[in-house]
Amino acid sequence: MDTPTTEATAAAKKPMLDARELSGETEPVQARQLERVVDVPLSVTLRFGQRAMRLRDVLELNTGSLVELDREVEEPVDLVLGDRVIARGEVVIVDGNYGLRVQEIIERLPPSSLDSSAQTAAA
């Protein structure tokens, strides 16, 4: 006779059904879902650096004030989408506008890695 633990383990090892198998469709469900939002405009930001400032110092800013950032000129800048760095690279000038020559794509960490790093930071 199987024990509850053995039954639970056996159930956990069964492969999960793909929605395509249930519906008989050949196009991946995720691809169709992505098609719905792929044309949504997103704002990205180039982050040259940052600095923590006291409110007093912010209130004392005037025209001509200098704010020193935490990055050297040679260091790559971040391309940020929302609150996530998605790439790094060097600043270039394109037709009189700033641009970014991407040198590194930042791979997304698996959710379990994000959870453990957030727990470590909170501790």
Domain ranges of the chain: 44-123
Sign of CA dihedral 35, 41, 47, 48: positive
The phi, psi pair for 61, rounded to 5°, reads -65, 135
Q: What is the pLDDT of residues 53-68, one digit of tens each?
A: 999 999 999 999 999 9
pLDDT of 15 strictly over 80 = no
Q: What is the pLDDT of residues 69-96, one digit of tens each?
A: 999 999 999 999 999 999 999 999 999 9
Residue 86, token pair as written in the block: 């998605």
pLDDT of 30 strictly over 90 = no
Q: Which residue has the higher pLDDT, 115 or 39?
A: 39
Residue 84: strand, helix, or coil = strand
> What does pLDDT average to over the chain?
79
Residue 108, token pair as written in the block: 């997304």
Return the CATH fold of 44-123: Surface presentation of antigens (SPOA) (2.30.330)
Burial of 79 (0-12, 13-18, 19+ CB in 10 A): buried
